[in-house]
């Protein structure tokens, strides 16, 4: 049962960075709502494909493992807890509508406001940082190499994804977002 839950978590997260890149790229390139909606709904297709592949190859995902020592287990629990706290503050500030990219599907975005307070004082993309911490924490806690590899994949994927998302945010919020970019790091710490 535990391995099934771990496989579901991997199947859920793996398509997210690639889909977000595609979604934000399409949002940048077209004002056409139908194209953005089709792209939005494509996540379901990605989940079906990755979910099927994950369950077919489930043994491979959980085959390679190390035995975590007490330090790794404690660090894993701390990272998971930190990620859940960050998640709480993100949901509290954004709400579900913005969190699941529905704001990008609105025809008129003029009434959108940029959130720069709370957790967003510390990171422009706390959600991405949270997911990286969570999966790295699960990898340390359980000893599954697949989770450590996925956390590296998430870091690279979200770093690239944020490039497209920030271009879209500059178009939406202009100089206000550019000033915010200069003051606040992407993932809680400065990156090149």
More confident residue, 170 or 27: 170
Residue 103 has pLDDT above 70, yes or no: no
Q: Is residue 162 part of a domain?
A: yes
Residue 109 has pLDDT above 60, yes or no: no
Residue 111 has pLDDT above 60, yes or no: no
Task: State the DSSP code for 14.
Answer: T
Provide the pLDDT for residue 100: 59
Mean of the per-residue pLDDT values for the chain? 83
Provide the pLDDT for residue 84: 94
The least confident of 23-27, 32-36, 112-116, 179-183 is 32-36
Provide the pLDDT for residue 48: 85
Q: Is residue 99 part of a domain?
A: yes
Provide the pLDDT for residue 75: 97
114 CA to centre of own chain: 19
Task: Answer whether 83's CB lies under 8 Å from 151's CB.
Answer: no
Percent of the chain with pLDDT over 70: 89
- Residue 13 CA to residue 57 CA, distance in Å, equals 16
Q: Is residue 16 part of a domain?
A: yes
Q: Is residue 88 part of a domain?
A: yes
User: Which residues constitute the domain of residue 111?
Assistant: 2-183
pLDDT in tens, 121-162: 998 899 999 999 999 999 999 999 999 999 999 999 999 988
Task: Please state the domain count of the chain.
Answer: 1
Residue with tokens 């690639």: 18
CATH number, position 168: 1.20.120.1630
Task: Answer whether 48's CB lies under 8 Å from 79's CB.
Answer: no
Q: Is residue 190 part of a domain?
A: no
Q: Is residue 188 part of a domain?
A: no
pLDDT in tens, 53-101: 877 877 777 778 899 999 999 999 999 999 999 989 988 887 765 565 5
- Residue 144 CA to residue 22 CA, distance in Å, equals 29
Provide the pLDDT for residue 133: 95
């Amino acid at each position: 049962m535990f391995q099934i839950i771990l496989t579901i978590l991997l199947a859920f997260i793996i398509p997210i960075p690639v889909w977000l890149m595609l979604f934000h790229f399409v949002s940048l390139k077209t004002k056409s709502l139908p194209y953005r909606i089709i792209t939005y709904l494509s996540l379901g297709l990605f989940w079906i494909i990755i979910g099927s592949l994950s369950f077919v190859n489930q043994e491979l995902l959980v085959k390679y493992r190390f035995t975590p020592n007490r330090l790794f287990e404690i660090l894993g629990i701390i990272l998971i807890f930190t990620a859940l706290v960050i998640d709480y503050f993100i949901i509290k500030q954004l709400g579900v509508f913005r969190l699941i990219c529905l704001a990008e599907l609105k025809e008129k975005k003029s009434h959108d406001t940029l959130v720069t307070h709370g957790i967003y004082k510390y990171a422009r993309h706390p959600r991405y940082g949270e997911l990286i911490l969570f999966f790295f924490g699960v990898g340390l806690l359980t000893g599954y190499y697949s989770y450590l590899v996925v956390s590296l994949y998430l870091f690279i994927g979200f770093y690239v994804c944020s490039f497209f998302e920030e271009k879209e945010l500059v178009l939406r919020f202009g100089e206000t977002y550019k000033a915010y970019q200069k003051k606040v790091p992407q993932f809680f710490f400065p990156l090149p």
